Amino acid sequence: MRAGLLVGGALLGLCLVGVAGVAAWNVQVVRQSDAPVRETAEAFLTEVAAGNADRAYRRLCASARSRWSPIGFAAWVRTPPVVTGHQVTDVSVRTREGRPTGTVTVRLTRDGGRSEQRTLPVVREDDDWRVCGDPF
């Protein structure tokens, strides 16, 4: 009886270690997958806040670029109250119809100090991540 309990306890311990290992591995995979999505949104918003509309425009997906001309996008970026800063508050990555997509939630700061929360969709396109949607 005692030997059975020892073997059962050892197996239970081994299972718990395995579950903890798998959980740690999953956390690492998720963190690695959300880094490029976060970096894409950060770079885009940094360009917008700096007034570099041309560079920000190049970070848009094809669908967003088809809705905005470079001149129209630049005018939109420069329309008051302009974005002066940002803070990423959440990043999520998932697969939709076999394609990875990301969502970045940010707190935008505008001139005058007003802030607001926005969500940026980010998609994988041409082996790169791009902002895809109207972020402001």
Total domains in the chain come to 1
CA gap 60, 132 in Å, rounded: 6
First to last CA, the chain: 68
Look at residue 112 and tell me if it is in a domain: yes
Look at residue 119 and tell me if it is in a domain: yes
On whether the pTM is more than 0.85, the answer is no
Exposed, middle or buried, 28 (CB in 10 Å: 0-12/13-18/19+)?
A: exposed
CATH number of the domain at 67, please.
Answer: 3.10.450.100
Question: Closest Cα partner for 135 from 108, 101, 110, 100?
Answer: 108
Question: Closest Cα partner for 135 from 71, 57, 70?
Answer: 57
pLDDT tens sequence for the chain (136 residues): 777 666 666 676 676 666 555 444 444 444 447 999 999 999 999 999 999 999 999 999 999 999 999 999 999 999 999 999 999 999 999 988 888 999 999 999 999 999 999 999 999 998 999 999 876 6
Token pair 């990423």 is at which residue? 88
